[in-house]
Structure 1
């Protein structure tokens, strides 16, 4: 697959990825190389990566616990201390090997350590390949509030190796598929029509879906790096979705959702808003709802949860002057940005998901 040029770095795929990594390491001096992993990627992905990659330098492995709950400033402090203890400097290189938590947090830690050291992202989950691989967003959560602390900082390159997907669960594969569905409604309807008949994620289909998704996101980012206009479209489903994800993460009586599971619910609800506000076809809204409930399973949202979920939306990064801004879909491949809705409609949309 042909490499994709982003703002000032490339996304490389498959065997081509390791050839470019080898060339980069030979042509650039690095005092030390650090590989950031979590407990899962250390076990399942690191051996495969070290087998395929050629390092002339010794590498230091830094390990953190796996999970969104560890994507916070406390973990960053631990990593900054580890880097300092192990002699990292501004000529060191950080290789982030993992899902979105690792690439987001690793990029943030590298970009802020001694005012910046270089980093490379190697996403190992479907979600991180199609979402975190392009765009330069780094950061961590503030408590349960998603991605509240961070900055834009580009990696030296992104390497996508589909073999890592053999190490992830079907649940994680389904999670990543939600972000591809997002691209299907906002930029390329063929993606949605390809996915809607899935009963499981077939690896033969995944390769093309990943490449198309990266190409779409990259085209958007090149138009709007700092998310002032069209890049906001990539937040479709995320205003409510992030609030649901945060609420389920902090509630002791709820099982935490994956990012994709929460965003899938968010897209169903925000399509309902799109139907009520812009006349988006109800048939397509019902189709997505049926697919999400069948494919991801029914998530129980109770009446008592609604007020708490809506309250969490006030922390969304797209908000301005206290106004909650939604990305809605007027018709397939045509988004409306910065849409404000009444509290009544927001509750109505959540009820739409809840009811059979």
Structure 2
């Protein structure tokens, strides 16, 4: 499968990826190599990777606990201290092997350690492959607020190996499918049709679907690397989705949601809003709602959940001048950014979701 040239770095697929990695490391002559991973990826994925890493450089493995709760500045401080204690310098390389938490925090740590060292992403979850592999967004949460602290800085390369997906439970796979569905809805109506039946994405065609999903995100990011315009299209489903994810993360009476689970709800809600604003037909909206609610478990919202979620919207990164900005569907395959939506319509979207 052909590599994708992203904004200043390549994304490799298949058997040639390790050859490209080893050649790159040899040419760069790094002082030492650090691998950041979590306990899950260390157990299930690192043993698949290390035999292919051909280098005589010193390799140190840094392991953190898994989960969104570790994606904070305290964890960064711990990693920075370990890098310092183990002799990390400006010529060190950090390889991030894991899901979106690892690539987000690893890219941020590398971008800020010694004012910036090189890093490489090896995503091991479907979500990380189709989302974190493109765009250069790295960062951490601020309390329960998603991705409030970070930088846009690209890796030296990304390696996509779908063999790692065999280690994932089904809910993690579905979490990744949510982002792939989003890419079809905002940019490619034909691609969207592949996900109207989830079974079509569970067989030999999955690597091609992943490749196309990454292509779509890359096409958008290349037009707008710093998210001043069309890149905001990628936030469809995320304005409400991130608020829901944050609310469930901080509320001990709620089950913590995977990112894709929250985004799936957000896409239904924001599709409803798109319909009500005359941007989406009723037929298109029901097509989207039926597909997503069939694949993803319905999330229960009580009456007293809605206002706290609305309160969290003010912290969304897309907001400008205190105004909440939505990216809405303008028909399937198209998007309209910078849409201001009144709270009454958002509340109606929750009522429709529950119906």
- TM tier relative to shorter chain: over 0.9
Between the aligned partners of 2:62 and 2:107, the Cα distance in structure 1 is 14
TM-score (norm 1): 0.98
Q: Which residue of 1 aligns with 2:42?
A: 42
Map residues 196-345 of structure 1 onto 2, 5 A cutoff: 196-199=196-199, 201-345=201-345
Deviations 1:277-323 (A, max 9, x none): 12401122122222222211111111110001111111000001110
Superposed displacement of residue 221, structure 1: 1.1
Map residues 49-198 of structure 1 onto 2, 5 A cutoff: 49-198=49-198
Superposed displacement of residue 199, structure 1: 4.5
SS in 2 for 1:204: coil
Superposed displacement of residue 97, structure 1: 0.2
Q: Which has the higher mean CA deviation after the structures are superposed, 203-212 or 114-123?
A: 203-212
Question: Is 1:350 paired with 2:341?
Answer: no
Unaligned runs of 5+ in 2: none
- Call closer, same or farther: CA 1:310–1:200 in 2, change over 3 Å: farther
Count of equivalent residues:
355
Matched-pair contact (CA < 8 Å) for 1:225–1:231: yes
Superposed displacement of residue 205, structure 1: 2.6
Between the aligned partners of 2:194 and 2:200, the Cα distance in structure 1 is 12
Superposed displacement of residue 53, structure 1: 2.4
Between the aligned partners of 1:198 and 1:190, the Cα distance in structure 2 is 15
Q: Which runs of 4+ in 1 moved over 3 A?
A: none
SS in 2 for 1:149: strand
Between the aligned partners of 1:279 and 1:32, the Cα distance in structure 2 is 53
Matched-pair contact (CA < 8 Å) for 2:186–2:335: yes
Between the aligned partners of 1:121 and 1:279, the Cα distance in structure 2 is 37
TM-score (norm 2): 0.98
Matched-pair contact (CA < 8 Å) for 2:127–2:179: yes
Q: Which has the higher mean CA deviation after the structures are superposed, 156-165 or 195-204?
A: 195-204
SS in 2 for 1:252: coil
Between the aligned partners of 2:319 and 2:297, the Cα distance in structure 1 is 30
Superposed displacement of residue 222, structure 1: 1.0
Between the aligned partners of 1:166 and 1:219, the Cα distance in structure 2 is 28
Between the aligned partners of 1:20 and 1:258, the Cα distance in structure 2 is 32
Matched-pair contact (CA < 8 Å) for 1:186–1:332: yes
Deviations 1:143-193 (A, max 9, x none): 111100000111110000111111111110000000010011100112221
Superposed displacement of residue 336, structure 1: 0.8
Between the aligned partners of 1:144 and 1:90, the Cα distance in structure 2 is 32
Between the aligned partners of 2:2 and 2:147, the Cα distance in structure 1 is 31
